[in-house]
Structure formats: structure tokens, C-alpha cells
Amino acid sequence: MFELVSRFQGQVFGLCYRMLGQRQDAEDAAQETFVRVLKNLHQWDADRDFEPWLMAIAGNRCRTAMARRMKKNNTQPLIDNVAAEEVDLGHTRGITEEVQLGLGRLREEYREAFVLFHEHELSYAEIAEAMSCPVGTVKTWIHRARSEMMQFLRMRGIAQESGHAVRKV
């Protein structure tokens, strides 16, 4: 189990952090993911790729965490310090932080598909398997996530219509 955690902990934590936006919640979800994997490893079909199965469990743990937030009527934002959006754009910010803010504004399924595709480099088919939906749906979600992300970055003055950077960050 130690080797499994060592090999995949960065990917699992990365997905959880991108989906949940808060380090503590992401750490909890990642830990829950590996506990779930350990309990259910006997159910994994060895003829299928392991990573999509693992990422599906991580995504499910994140969705559960978000549902718990909603039940508590917690008005806490998905991204720490979202109030930073109101900061004068004269304060430069790294593109990574801007993308993180943009991810926090995406619908849950768009965000998960976007992160699995762009950060974890899973194929459309692997994402469809991990998210238990058709490949066409995954393609639509990723397209919409990209469109919404570009719209957000243009609104923030980070990108122009062509997608090129407007200012150095």
C-alpha cells in the first residue's frame, strides 16, 4: 500500500485540491481516497487501467465533501480567499492563481473533467470511465470548461480574444 500511495499521492491530492480548493479538505479527501482504495482493491478489474479507477474514487470523495459543505449551509467559497477577486488588478498575480480562481467558478463536473484532462493527462475515454459518463459528455464538459476559463481570464485581463496573454504575470 505504501508504494501505491507514494506513486499516486501527488495526482490524487492535485485532483482533490483543484476540485475542493482548500488544502485541508483536499488532504482529507485524498486520505479518504486511499482508505477506500485499500478497502475495495479486490473489486478492481485488473484488465482495466488502475489510474482512472483511482481518480474516479478521488472524484467521488470530493463530490461527497462538497455535498457535506452544502448540507452545512457553509457559505465558505470553494477557493480560499476568493475575495481576492476584488483586489485591484494593479496587483499582479501569477497565472496559476488566476486559473485556480477560474476553476473555482466552474461547475463541479466541468472542473473535474478539465483537471483530469489537462493536469493528469487522461484520455477522454479514461475520464469518461472515471466519471461514469459517455465520452461525448466528457468532450462537452472539457470544451465548456475551456470556454468559461478563457472568458474568465479575458474578464480578468489575463487573456485576449485570441487566447494570448495581455500582461506579464
Place of cell 487522461: 122
Q: What is the pLDDT of residues 27-64, one digit of tens each?
A: 999 999 999 998 988 888 888 889 989 999 998 898 88
Q: What is the pLDDT of residue 76?
A: 40
**What's the topology of domain 2-155?**
Butyryl-CoA Dehydrogenase, subunit A; domain 3 (1.20.140)
Whether 33 contacts 13, CB under 8 Å:
no
Count of other CB atoms within 10 angstroms of residue 10: 10
Tens of pLDDT along 69-104?
766 644 444 344 444 444 444 334 467 788 888 888
Q: Which residues contact 106 (CB under 8 A, 6 or more apart)?
A: 114, 145, 148, 149
pLDDT of 161: 64
Q: Which of 76-85, 134-143, 150-159 has the highest mean pLDDT?
A: 134-143
By CB neighbour count within 10 A (0-12 exposed, 13-18 middle, 19+ buried), where does 33 fall?
buried
pLDDT digits (tens, 9 = 90+) for 109-127: 999 999 889 888 888 998 9
Nearest by Cα to 98 from 147, 46, 152:
152
Which pLDDT score is estimated for 30?
93
Q: How many helices (H) and strands (E) does the chain have?
A: 7, 0
Average pLDDT estimate for 5-25 = 89
